[in-house]
């Protein structure tokens, strides 16, 4: 297993030294937000807190949380901690409602971002001889440019093709000999399908690594993509508010995502009580940035649910690992009182040979009762005109989903290629109950 480490000093540092680094940087960060961002100063003052109260990471839990709404309330630049003349880049993420969340970077921030992405790509097994096809969207979304700067930093040849235009993706993949594909897992699944249909032979492609993230995907989805594309698929995680991609990354052991904790301190909290949970428990991930200048952010509630593992990894990194995120607290559907994550459905479908990872959940309410419909595409080779066979398959899926989730579901089989493919983040749920 190739196992290069971009920055061994920080990536393999002892836990003790890491705490020291984090404490020093946290003190600095708290001072910067206190003196430069009125929002943080007022919030801290209202709790009787000053920078002098934060001496080490042990004091982190004294600080107030920040949530997405705080960024919206201070739209666009209200939480920036430097004059605009120091900002050299802005990105934004558009939510489903309201104003976008705007983030700003100084030159040093872009340096940190390139560094954490260089660690990410190196960990995935990429190096200067690689061709990285970046099919994440460029623009205000952080995916494209985030991977781009990391790719350049490690000296790889970067192909900034951006998302979409699938035909051209395949053409360049073949002609340029792309070895690394960077995109969302749902687009990777779509590209795999497109390659199979195009008649391009796998041996004509040089692809060996995928760096996929920006949305939840299950282990089953990973295996499916790895098998179809014949690559190693690595999970990368991040969010614009913290920096973009590069917050955490998998190593070739694929057993959790190493957090770049010399830049971002993680905590896991109970989303109801807001208490910090003991090591290893499942809860909501919270980050404090400790080196960012443009938009330092303290105790940001990500809504992503995961757990932390502090054991040293077989790859040699000591950076704490977070489990693959398979759900967000706000992704969770409550149907007839039962909690359901779309990832549970994905997992079931991918365990079955006959179905594809392309599905859509439609939730509605009829006579005050929640209804759940699952539209799922059948693999081409299993699609049949015989009603009986399709009926049997439908029942089988229904049974599997019901026993995995405890919810009755109305399964609708749809023909291959009918569910809309995504070139970015996939939309898996239509909740009509929320539309009223």
Residues at the contact surface with ligand DLL, assessed by CB under 6 A: 93, 136, 142-143, 213-216, 235-240, 244-245, 302, 304, 325, 328
Cβ proximity to ligand DLL: between 30 and 130 the closer is 130
The least CB distance from residue 306 to ligand DLL, in Å, is 9
Q: Long-range pairs for 404-407 at CB < 8 Å and ≥24 separation?
A: 404/344, 404/347, 404/348, 405/338, 405/340, 405/344, 405/345, 405/348, 406/338, 407/335, 407/336, 407/338, 407/340, 407/372
Cβ neighbours around 85 below 10 Å, total = 7
Q: Please list the residues that pair with 360 across neighbouring strands.
A: 375
Cβ proximity to ligand DLL: between 40 and 213 the closer is 213
Pairing of strands 131-134, 180-183: parallel
Cβ proximity to ligand DLL: between 27 and 258 the closer is 258
Sign of the C-alpha dihedral computed for residues 414, 416, 419 and 425 taken in this order? positive
Cβ proximity to ligand DLL: between 23 and 327 the closer is 327
Radius of gyration from C-alpha coordinates of the chain: 22
The least CB distance from residue 53 to ligand DLL, in Å, is 29
The least CB distance from residue 335 to ligand DLL, in Å, is 21
The least CB distance from residue 168 to ligand DLL, in Å, is 20
Cβ proximity to ligand DLL: between 41 and 425 the closer is 425
Return all residues near 414 (Cβ < 8 A) that are at least 6 apart. Answer: 375, 376, 377, 378
The least CB distance from residue 8 to ligand DLL, in Å, is 24
Helix 185-198 and helix 219-229: axis angle, to 10°? 30
Residue with nearest beta carbon to ligand DLL: 213
Torsion-angle region of residue 422: left (phi > 0), alpha (psi -120 to 50) or beta?
Answer: beta
Cβ proximity to ligand DLL: between 304 and 423 the closer is 304
CA 226, CA 189: separation in Å to the nearest integer? 10
Cβ proximity to ligand DLL: between 214 and 411 the closer is 214
The least CB distance from residue 216 to ligand DLL, in Å, is 4
Name the token pair of 141: 């979304």
Cβ proximity to ligand DLL: between 218 and 291 the closer is 218
268 closest CA partner among 313, 303, 244: 303
The least CB distance from residue 234 to ligand DLL, in Å, is 10
Q: Tokens 């938009």, residue?
A: 295
The least CB distance from residue 131 to ligand DLL, in Å, is 19
Cβ neighbours around 59 below 10 Å, total = 15
CA 278, CA 285: separation in Å to the nearest integer? 13
Cβ proximity to ligand DLL: between 213 and 342 the closer is 213
The least CB distance from residue 324 to ligand DLL, in Å, is 6
Pairing of strands 180-183, 209-213: parallel
């Amino acid at each position: 297993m190739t196992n290069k480490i971009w920055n061994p000093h920080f990536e393999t540092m002892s836990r003790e030294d890491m705490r020291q680094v984090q404490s020093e940087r946290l003190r600095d960060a708290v001072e910067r937000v206190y003196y430069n961002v009125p929002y943080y100063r007022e919030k801290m003052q209202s709790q009787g807190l000053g920078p002098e109260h934060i001496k080490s990471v042990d004091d982190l839990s004294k600080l107030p949380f920040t949530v997405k709404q705080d960024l919206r309330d201070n739209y666009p630049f209200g939480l920036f901690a430097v004059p605009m003349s120091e900002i050299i880049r802005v990105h934004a993420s558009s939510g489903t409602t309201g104003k976008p969340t705007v983030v700003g970077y100084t030159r040093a921030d872009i340096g940190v971002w390139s560094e954490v992405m260089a660690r990410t790509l190196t960990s995935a097994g990429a190096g200067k001889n690689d061709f990285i096809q970046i099919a994440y969207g460029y623009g205000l979304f952080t995916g494209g440019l985030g991977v781009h700067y990391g790719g350049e930093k490690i000296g790889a040849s970067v192909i900034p093709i951006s998302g979409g235009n699938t035909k051209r993706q395949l053409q360049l993949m073949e002609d340029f000999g792309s070895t690394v594909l960077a995109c969302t897992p749902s687009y990777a699944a779509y590209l795999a399908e497109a390659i199979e249909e195009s008649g391009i032979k796998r041996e004509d492609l040089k692809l060996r690594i995928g760096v996929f993230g920006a949305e939840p995907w299950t282990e089953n989805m990973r295996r499916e993509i790895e098998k179809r594309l014949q690559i190693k698929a690595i999970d990368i995680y991040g969010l614009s508010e913290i920096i973009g991609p590069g917050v955490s990354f998998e190593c070739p052991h694929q057993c959790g995502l190493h957090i770049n904790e010399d830049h971002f301190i993680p905590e896991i909290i109970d989303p109801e009580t807001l208490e910090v949970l003991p090591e290893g428990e499942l809860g909501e991930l919270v980050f404090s940035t400790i080196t960012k200048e443009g938009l330092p952010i303290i105790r940001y509630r990500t809504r992503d649910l995961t757990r932390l593992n502090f054991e040293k990894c077989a790859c040699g990194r000591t950076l704490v690992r977070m489990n693959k995120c398979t759900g967000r607290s706000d992704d969770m559907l409550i149907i007839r009182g039962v909690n359901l994550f779309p990832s549970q459905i994905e997992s079931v479908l991918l365990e079955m040979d006959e179905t594809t990872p392309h599905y859509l959940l439609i939730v509605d309410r009829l006579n005050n009762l929640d209804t759940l419909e699952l539209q799922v595409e059948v693999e081409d080779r299993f699609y049949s005109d015989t009603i009986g066979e399709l009926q049997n398959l439908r029942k089988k899926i229904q049974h599997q989903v019901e026993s995995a989730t405890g919810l009755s579901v109305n399964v609708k089989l749809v023909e291959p290629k009918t569910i809309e493919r995504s070139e970015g983040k996939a939309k898996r749920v239509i909740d009509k109950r929320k539309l009223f």
